[in-house]
C-alpha cells in the first residue's frame, strides 16, 4: 500500500510528502528543545514569568499546527460527515500528505477531497492565533527588560502593541473560521454557498502578520541605541532582536505562494512549509 491514499504509484512518485515530513519534524523538534530548555533554565534561575508562559503556549500551538499539517487521526469508517471533535475511539493513524498535500490539485485523488479540506481548515485558526503568542511573549520580555526604568511612554506603547497584535490576529482567526456561509463550505467545497474571495483575504492576513513582525522587531531598537554600553555590544544586541525579521521573510515567502495556488498548479506544499518554519522559528527566537 502506497503512502498517498487512492493514488497510483506514478502519482505518489510526484508527491513531496517526504520533504514535508522531514521539515516539519526537524523544526518542531528544535522548537520543543529550545523552549523546554528555556523553561527549565528560567525556572531554576528565578522562576517562570509571563513571557515564559506565553512562549510555552506558543510552543503548544506550534506543535498542534505541526500535527495537523502532518500527523492526523481520522475515523476508521471514513465517515467525514461526523465533526472532528466527536471522533470515535476506533482510530487509524493517517497524515495529510496521505490525502494529497505535496501534490498539484490535478493529481490529488478526488476521493481525498473532503478529508484534505477538512484538516486544512482545522489548522488555520491554530496557525493564525498561535503566531501571535510568540510575538506577545517577546513584547512582554521588552516590558521586563525596562521594568523599573523611567521609560513609561515606551512601556505604554508596548502594552498597546500587545493588545493590537493579539486582537488583529484574533480577528483574522475569526475571519478564517467564518470565511464561508454556511461555515462547513470551508471544508466541503462541493456544498452550495459563498466564501470570501481568497486572494484579498489572504493578502489581508499576510499584511497583518508581516506588519506585526516588523513592529515587534523594530520596537526595542531606539532604546537599545541609547544604552550606555560599548558599540560592539550594542550592535550585537540590535542584531539579536533583528533576527526576528526572519519570520517576516517566512511570511513574505508564504504569501508569494498564493498566486501559485490561485493561478498555478494549486500545490500548497511551500505555503504549508513556510508556515511551519515561521511558526517554529518564531517560537525559538
- Which residues on neighbouring strands pair with residue 93, listed in sequence order? 73
**pLDDT tier at 132, thresholds 50, 70, 90:** very high
239 burial type by CB count under 10 A (0-12 exposed, 13-18 middle, 19+ buried): exposed
Is residue 67 included in any domain, yes or no? yes
- For residue 244, pLDDT over 70 is answered with yes
Binning pLDDT at 50, 70 and 90, where does residue 21 land? confident
pLDDT tier, 148 (very low <50, low <70, confident <90, very high otherwise): low
- Domain-located, residue 1: no
pLDDT of 237 higher than 90: no
Of 219 and 260, more confident: 219
Structural domain count, the chain: 1
* 231 is a domain residue: yes
For 131, the grid coordinates are 503566531
Q: Is the pLDDT of residue 93 over 70?
A: no
Find residue 75's DSSP bridge partners.
91
If pLDDT is split at 50, 70 and 90, which confidence band does 77 have? very low
Please check the confidence at residue 143 and state whether its pLDDT lies above 90: no
Q: Could you list the residue range(s) of the whole structural domain that residue 87 is in?
A: 9-284
* The pLDDT of residue 151 is above 80: no
Q: Distance from CA of residue 284 to its chain's centroid? A: 13
273 part of a folded domain? yes
Hey, what's the cell of 281?
522559528
- pLDDT of residue 49 exceeding 60: yes
pTM of the entire predicted model: 0.79
pLDDT score for 90: 34
In a domain? residue 4: no
- Contact call for residues 96 and 119 (beta carbons, < 8 A): yes
R_g of the chain computed on alpha carbons: 21
Query: Rounded to an integer, what distance in angstroms lies between the CA atom of residue 193 and that of residue 12?
Result: 33
Has residue 216 got a pLDDT over 50?
A: yes
Answer yes or no: is pLDDT of 177 > 70.
yes
Instruction: State yes or no: pLDDT of 154 exceeds 80.
Output: yes
Residue 97, pLDDT > 70, answer no
Quickly list DSSP for the chain: --SSTT--HHHHHH--HHHHHHHHHHHHHHHHHHHHHHHHHHHHHT---HHHHHHHHHHHHHHHHHHHHSEEEEETT--TTS-GGG--S-EEEEEGGGGTTTS-GGGS-GGGHHHHHHHHHHHHHHHHHHHHHHHHHHHHHHHHHTTTSS-HHHHHHHHHHHHHHHHHHHHHHHHHHTSEESGGGGT-TTSS-EE--HHHHHHHHHHHHHHHHHHHHHTTHHHHHTSSS-HHHHHHHHHHHHTTHHHHHHHHHHHHHHHHHHHS----HHHHHHHHHHHHHHHH-
Q: List all residues 6 or more positions away from 21 whose beta carbon is below 8 Å from its beta carbon.
A: 70, 95, 97
Q: Does residue 2 belong to any structural domain of this protein?
A: no
The answer to the question of residue 214 being in a domain is yes
Amino acid at each position: 500500500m502506497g503512502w498517498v491514499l487512492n493514488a497510483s504509484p506514478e502519482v505518489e512518485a510526484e508527491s513531496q510528502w517526504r520533504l514535508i515530513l522531514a521539515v516539519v519534524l526537524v523544526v518542531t523538534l528544535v522548537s520543543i528543545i529550545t523552549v523546554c530548555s528555556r523553561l527549565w533554565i528560567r525556572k531554576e534561575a528565578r522562576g517562570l514569568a509571563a513571557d515564559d508562559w506565553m512562549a510555552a503556549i506558543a510552543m503548544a500551538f506550534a506543535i498542534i499546527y505541526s500535527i495537523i499539517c502532518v500527523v492526523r487521526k481520522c475515523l476508521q469508517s471514513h465517515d467525514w460527515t461526523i465533526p472532528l471533535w466527536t471522533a470515535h475511539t476506533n482510530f487509524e493513524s493517517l497524515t495529510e500528505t496521505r490525502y494529497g498535500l505535496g501534490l498539484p490539485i490535478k493529481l490529488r485523488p478526488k476521493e481525498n477531497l473532503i478529508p484534505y479540506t477538512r484538516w486544512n481548515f482545522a489548522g488555520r485558526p491554530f496557525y493564525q492565533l498561535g503566531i501571535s503568542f510568540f510575538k506577545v511573549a517577546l513584547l512582554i520580555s521588552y516590558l521586563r527588560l525596562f521594568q523599573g526604568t523611567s521609560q513609561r511612554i515606551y512601556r505604554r506603547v508596548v502594552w498597546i502593541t500587545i493588545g493590537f497584535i493579539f486582537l488583529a490576529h484574533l480577528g483574522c482567526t475569526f475571519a478564517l473560521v467564518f470565511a464561508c456561509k454556511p461555515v462547513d463550505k470551508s471544508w466541503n467545497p462541493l456544498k452550495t454557498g459563498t466564501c470570501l474571495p481568497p486572494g484579498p483575504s489572504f493578502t489581508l492576513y499576510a499584511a497583518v502578520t508581516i506588519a506585526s513582525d516588523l513592529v515587534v522587531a523594530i520596537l526595542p531598537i531606539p532604546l537599545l541605541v541609547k544604552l550606555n554600553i560599548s558599540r560592539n555590544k550594542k550592535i550585537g544586541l540590535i542584531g539579536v532582536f533583528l533576527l526576528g525579521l526572519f519570520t517576516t521573510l517566512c511570511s513574505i515567502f508564504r504569501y508569494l505562494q498564493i498566486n501559485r495556488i490561485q493561478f498555478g498548479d494549486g500545490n500548497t506544499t511551500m505555503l504549508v512549509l513556510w508556515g511551519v518554519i515561521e511558526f517554529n522559528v518564531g517560537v525559538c527566537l
